Amino acid sequence: MRLHGKIALVTGCGSGIGEAIAARFASEGAEVFGVDWKREAGERVAHEIVRAGGRIVFHEADVSQERAVEQMVAACTARLGSIDILVNNAAVQHEVVLHETSMEQWHSMIDVNLGGVFLGCKYAIPVMIEKGGGVIINMSSVMGLVADPKLAVYCATKGGILAMTRAIAIAYGRQGIRATCICPGDVDTPLNQVYFNSYPDPAAARATIEEHYPLGRIATPDEIARVAAFLASDDATFITGSHVLVDGGVLSTIY
């Protein structure tokens, strides 16, 4: 129960890593304010967490829209009292080479992946300052450190998240705010399945990718959520401005 008494706002809670983080935080004692733009998915997750004995409030919002994020933060503070932990996890991904990327796809990834982090921090940081501190966990990716030929814009957003996180950490550290990033490798999520499905044989694509991992597999969402719970807890009080690589060793290989 490392997060007992903490209020955690988690975006993208309707599936994948966000769902796992919301469930893990609730199991660790946090009161979760779960956000997703898909109401049905978010309500399903909230129902399952409550059934398991956790505490969660679901809120529907599109994190790419400033007014929606402003209202999201206001709703969290009005309903739960404050924000101790912010997890900017919501993301979209389009599998397309750069010269074939449409402006619609560009804006979709930039506005959700990078803009969502910016807006979440913009409106949550004043709440944390007023309270005397807080923890921000931004979801980056190994694609913020290396690259994939079909994910140029996605890589750009994840690299931008790393840079923004460092700036937040040094700007607000004296006000009690820690900011970190998690950089997962491939994770068994619906978002990653979309990537596999972009190949003619999705099962073969997954097998080929898993072959590159020293552990011989990709991560489960809960393996990422456990790292998020650690970073959010008092076990990580001297960790800020850095990223945690949770990649099963894949970036340790050269071929």
- Residues labelled as active-site residues: 154
Cα-trace Rg, the chain: 17
Residue 78 in tokens: 């009005």
CA distances from 167 to 24, 49, 87, 123 (A): 28, 34, 17, 16
Segment 28-31 long-range contacts (CB within 8 Å, at least 24 positions apart): 28/1, 28/2, 28/3, 28/4, 28/229, 28/233, 29/1, 29/2, 29/3, 29/4, 29/5, 30/3, 30/4, 30/6, 30/55, 30/84, 30/85, 30/232, 31/6, 31/7, 31/55, 31/56, 31/57, 31/80
Q: How many CB atoms lie within 10 A of CB 251?
A: 13
Report the alpha-carbon distance of residue 231 to residue 240 in Å, rounded: 9
Report the alpha-carbon distance of residue 225 to residue 154 in Å, rounded: 21
Report the alpha-carbon distance of residue 30 to residue 4 in Å, rounded: 5
